[in-house]
Amino acid sequence: MKTHDCDLLVIGSGAGGMAAAVTAKHAGLDVLVVEKEAVYGGTTARSGGWLWIPANPLAAREGFSDSKEAGRTYLQHEAGNHFDGKRVDAFLENGPAMVDFFEQNTAVKFVLGPQFSDYHPDAPGAMTGGRSICAEPYDGNELGEHIKTLRPPLKEITFLGMMIGSGKELLHFFNVTRSIVSAGYVAKLFVKYLRDLTLHGRAMRLTNGNALAGRLAKSAFDLGIPLWLNAPATELLRDGDRVIGAIVQTEDGPVQVNARKGVVLATGGFPHDVERRRQLYPHAPTGQEHWSPTPPGNTGDGIRLARPLGGNTADEYPNAAAWVPVSRVPWKDGGFGTFPHFIDRAKPGVIAVTRAGTRFVNEGNCYHDFCQALVKATKGMNGEICAWLITDHPTLRRYGLGHVKPFPVPIAHQLANGYLKRGRTLEELARECDIDPAAFVGQVAEYNRHAAKGEDPQFHKGSTAYNRYLGDPTVTPNPCLAPIATGPFYAVQVVIGDLGSFAGLKTDENARVLGENGQPVEGLYAAGNDMASIMGGNYPGGGITLGPAMTFGYIAARHAAGIAA
Ligand SMILES: Cc1cc2nc3c(=O)[nH]c(=O)nc-3n(C[C@H](O)[C@H](O)[C@H](O)COP(=O)(O)OP(=O)(O)OC[C@H]3O[C@@H](n4cnc5c(N)ncnc54)[C@H](O)[C@@H]3O)c2cc1C
């Protein structure tokens, strides 16, 4: 068998793996990254590209008063019984340093989300802005030939393949028919996109997670780190209790990779491991009743590789993954895409109901909380665990709904393919969706009675800073509430998906995998979703997977390089 020698072997090319690789190489280690798929970037390249880092340097520069102590208080509240003080402290201590390191030494740059509220802003230690930072948009030309193997963004959240940045950029898209400035902004981006399509066959202005993955990869390539594609790691090599490398399958046959300082598992968790889903996802009794927008190669390989060394997973977490409601978008070839519903639920004039015709949650709450409420509300109901997002004609054309875009983008094909349901009356819509008509009509009437006054005594939509952040600030008195009154009426069905798994390998504060008797396995690290989330199964804020992924990648690399934390 062929062999390859290095100091650190990184398995997986998402945020966790690439952060570890770049940090290690910068610290003087000889690094190899291996990636199972033909493209690099993993879920990270499909993501929003937000990192949640309390007391981060960008917020400090903008004068936000945040602290590690406040971050700790918040995480203690959020993780409850699953709070792991040592790992949380390592995250809070190293997160800001990691951001500084990347901004100063690499192609990775960030922008601050000044009004991006924590998801439970009324909890102790929470902030209503300043903890979430996003990868700055990036010019794909910087990647040269490597742009061809960067995983593309999730098709469903692009506009005809064009990436739309969150925050201000997205607002311009919503206001395209209302503001000449927005129309000009969008037109300019669209012209550039058409030029890129002609010249490169893809969007070259990378935003969000695609910008993050592109920037991380560029940083790795600049340092001369080799990245093997189509190269799954299939077995770890040990010398006694120490991990000393791995067998990696390549197009030229298996290679024995010897890694003097160790191996970082960063294979992106188990969102496509059907057996683990069956065991751990309450809404998926066979493991199949789940729709994940994560890439198909994330099948829990990191966990499987660590099992023979005693690697244990945090199966006790109340939620084994980061849930998100998704709608299934029919494609022309008969397949389906998954659209994650991050922001439409909070808009004024949108509610969610179950088959029973009634609401079950504050729709503006975060995706993870929405899904938990849905599972509870549908317990005992026959059939698929699902809800419908409901709206009326003016609201649909103002904000869109899921994959349906606002005016002037036509909606006829989404009505024809069944993605969007329509009824001239509420009763008709209920029948279309197999929702209890009488309960539904009563529910909408009850909602409307209060919505006009900006009130929601049932679920208090619009009551938190996070709800309002995603609402429409031009709507008063409550940016998340407006009556559903002017037909025709519309619905999009949502089911449960995930953004990545939480119940990963148990590790210590140095990102070392814990083996038999809870002792760290020498030479074996985990980062990203291969590592048990430090959030204990909860979802405290925008970027709580990528923030820790990059931070623990950074920590793992420094530990392997012998740099004290
Ligand atoms: C639409 C969407 C939006 C999101 N937005 C955000 C956000 O804004 N902020 C946030 O914090 N989180 C977000 N998430 C979640 C976040 O993207 C993931 O949690 C994160 O990217 C996981 O990073 P990772 O490094 O663990 O894995 P990944 O980025 O998935 O990378 C893992 C890589 O390992 C490879 N691999 C698997 N097995 C092997 C093997 N045996 N050998 C070699 N390679 C292997 C995979 O192919 C993959 O490329 C979002 C997710 C989605 C789907």
**From atom 48 of ligand 1, which residue's Cα is the shortest distance away?**
42
Helices (H), 434-540: 437-451, 465-470
564: pLDDT strictly greater than 80: no
Confirm or reject: Cβ of 113 under 6 Å from ligand 1.
Answer: no
Confirm or reject: Cβ of 543 under 6 Å from ligand 1.
Answer: yes
**Helix %, strand %, coil % of the chain (to 5):** 35, 20, 40
Rg (CA), the chain: 23
Distances, alpha carbon 503 to alpha carbons 57, 126, 270, 370, 543, in Å: 30, 24, 9, 19, 17
Q: List, in sequence order, every residue forming a beta bridge with 494; answer none if it has no partner.
A: 387
User: Which residue, chain included where needed, has tokens 């309450």?
Assistant: 282
481: pLDDT strictly greater than 90: yes
**Paired tokens of 7:** 């100091």
484: pLDDT strictly greater than 90: yes
Ligand 1 atom nearest 248 alpha carbon: 42
End-to-end CA distance of the chain: give it in Å, rounded.
37
- Provide mean pLDDT across the span 483-503: 98
Question: Torsions phi, psi of 427, nearest 5?
Answer: -60, -45
Where residue 175 falls among pLDDT bands split at 50, 70, 90? confident
Confirm or reject: Cβ of 341 under 6 Å from ligand 1.
Answer: no
Q: Is 374 in a helix, a strand, or coil?
A: helix
Confirm or reject: Cβ of 545 under 6 Å from ligand 1.
Answer: yes
Confirm or reject: Cβ of 135 under 6 Å from ligand 1.
Answer: no
According to the model, what pLDDT value does residue 565 have?
Answer: 61
d(CA 110, CA 57): 10
Single-letter amino acid code for the residue at 539: Y
pLDDT digits (tens, 9 = 90+) for 520-562: 999 999 999 999 999 999 999 999 999 999 999 999 999 999 9
Residue of 249, 499, 539, 551 best suited for mutating to test ligand 1, as the one with most atoms within 8 Å of CB: 499
According to the model, what pLDDT value does residue 176 have?
Answer: 83
d(CA 176, CA 164): 13
Confirm or reject: Cβ of 11 under 6 Å from ligand 1.
Answer: yes
| 2-11 and 253-265 beta bridge pairing | parallel
User: Which residue, chain included where needed, has tokens 């969150």?
Assistant: 166
Q: 154: closest CA among 296, 324, 331, 293?
A: 293
- pTM passes above 0.95: yes
Where residue 384 falls among pLDDT bands split at 50, 70, 90? confident
| 422: Cβ contacts below 8 Å, ≥ 6 apart | 415, 429, 432, 488, 489, 490, 491
d(CA 106, CA 100): 10
Ligand 1 atom nearest 11 alpha carbon: 43
Distances, alpha carbon 52 to alpha carbons 118, 287, 353, 521, in Å: 9, 30, 31, 28
Question: Torsions phi, psi of 51, nearest 5?
Answer: -120, 135
Q: Is 261 in a helix, a strand, or coil?
A: strand
According to the model, what pLDDT value does residue 160 have?
Answer: 83
Confirm or reject: Cβ of 42 under 6 Å from ligand 1.
Answer: yes
| 227-228 and 205-206 beta bridge pairing | unpaired
pLDDT digits (tens, 9 = 90+) for 337-367: 999 999 999 999 999 999 999 999 999 999 9
Distance 529 CA to ligand 1 centre (A): 7
According to the model, what pLDDT value does residue 87 have?
Answer: 98
167: pLDDT strictly greater than 80: no
CA 376 to chain centre: 23
Distances, alpha carbon 356 to alpha carbons 284, 390, 407, 443, in Å: 20, 14, 31, 10
pLDDT digits (tens, 9 = 90+) for 285-304: 999 999 999 999 999 999 99
| 132-135 and 50-52 beta bridge pairing | antiparallel
| 489-501 and 321-330 beta bridge pairing | antiparallel
180: pLDDT strictly greater than 70: yes
d(CA 210, CA 215): 8
What number of helices (H) and strands (E) belong to the chain? 17, 19
Question: Torsions phi, psi of 563, nearest 5?
Answer: -90, 125
**From atom 21 of ligand 1, which residue's Cα is the shortest distance away?**
44
**From atom 49 of ligand 1, which residue's Cα is the shortest distance away?**
42
Distance 15 CA to ligand 1 centre (A): 7
Q: List, in sequence order, every residue forming a beta bridge with 133; answer none if it has no partner.
A: 51, 112
Distance 44 CA to ligand 1 centre (A): 4
d(CA 505, CA 502): 9
Confirm or reject: Cβ of 45 under 6 Å from ligand 1.
Answer: no
Query: Mean pLDDT of all residues in the chain?
Result: 96
E-strand ranges in 125-184 read 132-135, 138-139
Q: 327: closest CA among 402, 246, 261, 245?
A: 402
